[in-house]
Amino acid sequence: MGWRIGVDIGGTFIDFCALEESSGRMHTLKVLTTPEEPGREVLEGVALLQERHGLDPASVTAFVHGTTVGINTVIQRKGAPLALVTNAGFEDVVELARLRMPEMYSLFCARPEQLIPRDRIFGVGGRILSDGSEAEPLDEEAVRQAAAKARAAGAEGIVVSFLHAYRNPAHEQAAKAVLRAAAPDLFVFCAAEIWPVIREYERTTTGILNGYVHPRVDRYLGSLEQALAARGVRATPMITKSNGGIMRAGLGRTACVSMLLSGTASGVMGAAFLARKAGVARALTLDIGGTSADVALILDGEPQFGTGELIGEFPLHVPSVSVSSIGDGGGSIATVDGFGMLKVGPESAGSTPGPACYGRGGEHATITDAMAVCGLLGHVPLAYASVAMDRAKAAAVVGRLAAQLGRSLEETGEAIVDVAISSMFAEVNKLVARYGVDLRDFTLLPFGGAGPMLGCLLARELGIGRVMIPRRPGVVSALGGLVADAKNDVVRTLFLDLEPANLPALRRALSELRAEGERWLREDQRFAGPAAIRLTADMRYRGQSFEIEAPLDPAWIEDGDLPALLGAFHRRHDAIYDFHDAEAAVQVVNLRLVVIGATDPPELPEEPRVEGGPIPERMVRAWLDGAWREVPLFLRSSLHHGHAFHGPAIVAQEDSTACIPGGFAASVDAQGNLHLTAEG
Amino acid sequence: MDKVTLQVFANHARAAAENMAYTLYRTAHSTFVKETEDFTVQILEPGGTVAAVPMDFGATWYPGIDYSAAIGMIGDYEPGDIGFTNDPYSGYLATHVPDLHMWKPIFEDGEILAWACGHIHNTDMGGAVPASLSRSLTEVHQEGIRFPPMKMVRRGEVNEEALRVMLLNVRKPEQNLGDLKAFTGALNTGERKLRAMVRKFGVDGFRAGLAGVLDYAEHQAREVLRSIPDGEYSFSDYCDEDGPDGNPVRLALRLVIKGDEAVLDFTGTDPQLTSALNVPTGSHPRHTLLLVGVFYVLYTLNPQILLNAGLTRPFTCIVPEGTALNPRFPAAVGMRSLTCARLRSLIFGTFGLAIPERMPAAPAGSSSIMNVMTTDNRTQRSVLAAINPIVGGGGGMPTRDGTNGSGADSAYLKNTPVEITETEVPIRILRYGLMPDTGGAGRWRGGLATALDFTVFAPNSRVTARNRDRCRFRPWGILGGKAGAPSDFVLNPGTAREKVLGNIDLVTMDPGDVLHIHSPGGGGRGDPLAREPARVLLDVKRGYVSAAAAQRDYGVVLRDGAVDEAGTEALRAALRAACPANGAHFDFGPEREAHERVWTAEGYAAMTEIMTALPTHWRFFVKTRLFAMLKDPAADSAAAVRHAFGRLREDYPGLAA
């Protein structure tokens, strides 16, 4: 028995979740991030765990880390100067992208500055066709010239992406060999090696993201591995992946795109784990921090997956846990316009300077300041005492808006929260409509520093009757790493009609994918336990130009059971689009396989049930639902299994504060989760 | 309603509209609706004007659409009813026959509190040609089966008779039916969401909220108008052709801004056409099609703006009947998209005269939709597929270059990956990218055009390129910036078999033929000689501008991959001396200048006067004859027009009557 440590780096804090396996005890910790020296805070945290909880580094059996180093490299544009080698005639593939731009009503809509400018994109002769045949041999001399030009332009690495390389990678591989020989000092990635799937822009931009973050991610993970080893941690460090799984940190040094969303994904994985443990099958997770507010759907205990998540301004096309942004978090700034309308966001005070009440130079009224003037925040030290709440500053900035609105301070605070909630409501509604789900049988699962603060209010607006606040809302992402499985996605683009003649091709693809998955799990990940696979296919009716993913049983392909394969697609189509067409021809565009090496989920000890009611720390004055009320303030540490009470109430703990309005009944379960149920 | 509750209400109203839009998109059957997002949804106040639309979904045209006339053509509404129409001439709601509009009343205690409504573009509504659209059609009867406003659903029961008539007359009945079901589902979703809003805000609160969001948008529009100097601003723009091998179509606008109100007077616009390029607006003083360009301007000047009919209140449009922007029945209207693009650039240009410091130069203004029908040599199956929209760049902006290859008013279009096209359609794409030297030169360069070259492998392959324009009249530059390059359409370029196709929208290809198309480029903004040489150098390195053009258009001399500072300074001085700034707001390019040497403003004014007095059925004929007669500049062009008309009257006695 030893220790399992999960670590998650956010914008402001780095969270630790350390599980002592012998006792099942969980220790949590928050340390301020050190952006100028990424990785140092990890060691600081380990040192603190040693100091406070007697951790022996040698006894660490698992060290799982979620990091934002990759995504920050993109957002801050601090990646490597790259060159792209692609087909002549198609050099604008990244600039044109899919044409459509987000702000469709603005004459000033513009594309982001590309990660590779056009003058470092080199078209070369050579062409593979859609069936994989070669129409024109690769112009190797042009590739050599591209290498010279790339180096002259200051590129540190080269991404190679050719049309139809998902079908036949020969030209990409040949070009890579030429580049390696011509420019051994430059690193080279082939787009079809990273994610070999049809659609040139999506594949190319994913390859570019990988190359762009590679040097920084490589250095970061390299030094982290060394530092941990130097501290005496013998366990192989793992990192969390965008797909909700984990892999050896060493793999992340080249498979960079698969960890770009590691933090958001592991938050959802952690929440899904807690939901399953609590017997909640359908949940809407709500992760609110200082600078972001994200939701994700858990259906049948499982998160949803998709591609096309945005990394900065660029879509990432490897399978990732689906998360939707619904706002900018507690730091969103409120303003009043010329008509007297109160707006919240899109400007945000971010993590620096942050809300005015944090006293770090914030000059604008944020949602957090609004909660503070209503007396809902600041009754206990915030964020493990790293933030001092200055309510006078909140009153000053909210007061300015109050004067404009002609309302009292607390009315204005409530108004800010109401407007923010209604805008989140509108965003969640899009997600609901897209998935065609009915939220009334869902549980809202808020986490992150500010999730519990706004969760009940949003649940009320959405008509969700149940809310579950985890015991430690601030470290759900760090926990997610501890419960995640080793997991990898592999894919083959087939693009064939689902008919008897194509069964051999399907079988071949399946066996190749199995072998590839097995190789990753055993050789790359060095996982020795039992393996599981999940097979899906991206399918569509002929003539459609988008695919939906349907789960398949490998036996259907092995046994040639076409009706079962077709049925799986029709069912899925029906579930998503409310209709299916049994007569239409069905195409399999991609066959996909997920290989999984399961991690034993930690046993969270159950707390014995206590009798009697919880004892409030004290009564506090809070403005809720249009009036000042004396409400009980509970400390989370003194709420135990079996405790029950009614809102209005405030529950404070070191990493977050939960606001429970009237009309909610609260109870604590054996894992320490706080369950809130709308009454009446 | 207090302003805080109103903001909350506005968010809920947007959510209801977005919920409808996502539901429609999710459940629609036709690839057309799914791919092009050619649908809209709205929430209407009881009177039939728009209170809320989705922000990031569907087409951008209808925040100002007015359902009131069409709603009024059906009498007694009951709960569970759904009205519909696709007739462009019944209430001027549908703007061409493929667009099916539906509306559902939301009742509370026997009273209509709101409407949930929208439109979908059906792939086909019957008529003379597949997909119902061709610019060569001459009257609306050829454009498909039309339904005047009537009930599609009565108290929850589908009007099977109307439905059967529709399905009998269209080419892809299963798609129309599937989309209709999805649409009905979306309206029901809208009703549920609106009912939830009634519960949340109360009946009175709901009413006040709908009125409030309209007032708020009106306030925002007026605030923008107040920031624009009072004055009269006149401009005109042209479509290349009024039909196959036709004459230009001139759209004219006089914008009068006074305080927080504006009048848009389109008098001087060409007479209605005997082709399908007419825009049906029914003399409505605030028809949404006339104001789409205005919505773009307002949103660009204030991105916080709430999109609903309140925005239209400060505007009044004047459009004489019998013109291309207000045709009389039964003029064909199917291809009004092409004219609408020009209408938008007309509005952008006019506002640019009023607030040059805040407006961009002309966007490309032509979004051609390419379809190919060819045969797979292996399977011998005929394949029909949309390839890509060929879209141009945005115009140069106040502080940045125009967006390349898309942007401005075509930012909503999506392309199809080359790999998908080549997998599904037996063609080979040889090039898909930006076209160098197509962005208008300027202090801020216009966005580049998109180019596509492809070849086919089977004989008798047919390619259609709908909505082609700006082959002749270029996207204008402003404030010293140059016009963008015109679009082009060429079969077998650079070979002995080269054939320039111009605005032809149907071409037949044989195996091995190569077809090249490129869109127009965006106009430039500001003096190109003031563009930093380093930026020009970067454009050359990036292949956006050739070294020759850098020298010719920007006066930048490059040597060994660097700017020759002295050479550049000298060349720029010489260019300035040779061609001093003329202070003109617009640069139109040689084609329009040549055209306007013959057809001057005075000449057009004389023609407008003649047309106004003529019965509608003579107008297009007379215009065509006048254009045939007047080919050269005249000392007094108005007199020349009147003289030519005098001769026509002699030739055609019926004209005198």
Looking at CA atoms only, how far is residue B485 from chain A in angstroms?
19
ipTM, 2 decimals? 0.93
Quickly state the pLDDT bin for A38 (edges 50, 70, 90). Answer: low
Using CB atoms and an 8 Å cut-off, which of residues 516-545 of chain B contact chain A? 538, 541-544
Residue B57 has pLDDT above 80, yes or no: no
Residue of A nearest to B1 (CA): A341
State the DSSP code for A523. Answer: I
- Domain locations along chain B: 3-221, 599-656
Q: Is the previous residue joined to A346 through a cis bond, with omega within 30 degrees of 0?
A: yes
**pLDDT tens for residues A216-227?**
999 999 988 998
Looking at residue B507, its pLDDT comes to: 93
Looking at residue B540, its pLDDT comes to: 97
Mean pLDDT in residue range B18-41:
82
**pLDDT tens for residues A4-31?**
999 998 766 788 999 998 888 888 888 8
Looking at CA atoms only, how far is residue A379 from chain B in angstroms?
28
Contacts of B359 (CB under 8 A, 6+ apart): A107, B297, B300, B348, B351, B352, B398, B478
Query: What b/e sequence results for A184-202 when a residue is b if at least 16 CB atoms lie within 10 Å of its CB, and e otherwise?
Result: eebbbbbbbbbbbbbbbbb
Higher local confidence (pLDDT), A466 or A23: A466
B12 to chain A, any CB pair closer than 8 A? The answer is yes
Using CB atoms and an 8 Å cut-off, which of residues 463-482 of chain A contact chain B? 463
Residue A557 has pLDDT above 90, yes or no: yes
Pick B18's closest partner by Cβ from A106, A430, A543.
A430
Residue B238 has pLDDT above 80, yes or no: yes
B303 to chain A, any CB pair closer than 8 A? The answer is yes
Residue A383 has pLDDT above 80, yes or no: no
Residue A645 has pLDDT above 80, yes or no: yes
Residue B110 has pLDDT above 90, yes or no: yes
CB A38 within 8 A of CB A65: no
A495 phi/psi in degrees, rounded to 5: 50, 60
B178 to chain A, any CB pair closer than 8 A? The answer is yes
Helix (H) or strand (E) holding B552: helix B547-554
Looking at CA atoms only, how far is residue B250 from chain A in angstroms?
23
Q: In angstroms, rounded to a whole number, what is the distance separating the alpha carbons of residues A268 and B636?
A: 76
Residue of B nearest to A99 (CA): B414
Mean pLDDT in residue range A55-72:
90
CB A678 within 8 A of CB A459: yes
Looking at residue B467, its pLDDT comes to: 87
A419 to chain B, any CB pair closer than 8 A? The answer is yes
Helix (H) or strand (E) holding A467: strand A466-469
Residue of B nearest to A401 (CA): B4
Mean pLDDT in residue range A567-593:
91
Contact: B23, A96; criterion CB under 8 Å = no
**pLDDT tens for residues B426-461?**
999 999 999 999 999 999 999 999 999 999 999 999
Domains of chain A: 3-74+219-262 (3.30.420.40), 77-216 (3.40.50), 270-329+420-482 (3.30.420.40), 486-597 (3.30.1490), 618-678 (no CATH)
CA angle A324, A384, A382 (to 5 degrees): 70
Looking at CA atoms only, how far is residue A234 from chain B in angstroms?
47
Q: Which chain A residues have a beta carbon less than 8 Å from that of B438?
A: none
Quickly state the pLDDT bin for B195 (edges 50, 70, 90). Answer: very high
CB A661 within 8 A of CB A648: yes
**pLDDT tens for residues B513-551?**
999 999 999 999 999 999 999 999 999 999 999 999 999
Looking at residue A382, its pLDDT comes to: 63
Coil vs helix vs strand at A621 = strand
**pLDDT tens for residues A484-503?**
999 999 999 999 999 999 99
Looking at CA atoms only, how far is residue B325 from chain A in angstroms?
23
**pLDDT tens for residues A76-112?**
899 999 999 999 999 999 999 999 888 888 999 999 9
Mean pLDDT in residue range A509-537:
97
Looking at residue A343, its pLDDT comes to: 93
Q: Which chain A residues have a beta carbon less than 8 Å from that of B360?
A: 107-108
Token representation of residue A607: 């707390």
Indicate the length of chain B as a whole number: 657
Q: In angstroms, rounded to a whole number, what is the distance separating the alpha carbons of residues B402 and B523?
A: 8
Using CB atoms and an 8 Å cut-off, which of residues 558-617 of chain B contact chain A? none
Residue A384 has pLDDT above 60, yes or no: no
Higher local confidence (pLDDT), B112 or A602: B112
Q: Which chain B residues have a beta carbon less than 8 Å from that of A430?
A: 15, 18-19, 22
**How far is the CA of B133 from the CAs of B122, B137, B143, B282, B463, in angstroms?**
11, 8, 7, 21, 15
Which amino acid, residue A603? E
Contact: A340, B3; criterion CB under 8 Å = yes
Pick A106's closest partner by Cβ from B23, B27, B299.
B299
Q: Which chain A residues have a beta carbon less than 8 Å from that of B394?
A: 107, 109-110
**pLDDT tens for residues A255-308?**
999 999 988 899 999 999 999 999 999 999 999 988 889 999 999 999 999 988
Q: In angstroms, rounded to a whole number, what is the distance separating the alpha carbons of residues B357 and A672?
A: 61
For chain B, give the percent of residues with pLDDT over 70. Answer: 99
A167 phi/psi in degrees, rounded to 5: -95, -40
Pick B430's closest partner by Cβ from A89, A104, A338.
A89
**pLDDT tens for residues B354-397?**
999 999 999 999 988 888 999 999 999 888 888 888 998 999 99
Given phi > 0 = left and psi -120 to 50 = alpha, else beta, which region is A397?
Answer: alpha
**B646 strand-pairing partners:** none
For chain A, give the percent of residues with pLDDT over 70. Answer: 98
Residue A387 has pLDDT above 70, yes or no: no
A556 phi/psi in degrees, rounded to 5: -60, -40
Looking at residue A265, its pLDDT comes to: 92
Residue A648 has pLDDT above 80, yes or no: yes
Contact: A130, B196; criterion CB under 8 Å = no
Looking at residue A571, its pLDDT comes to: 94
**pLDDT tens for residues B452-490?**
999 999 999 999 888 899 999 999 999 999 999 999 999
Please compute, for residue B549, the number of CA atoms within 13 A of its CA located in the half-sphere on the CB side. 19
Pick B403's closest partner by Cβ from A111, A429, A576.
A111
- CA A352, A358, A363, A366 torsion: positive or negative? positive
Looking at residue A435, its pLDDT comes to: 84
Looking at residue A543, its pLDDT comes to: 75
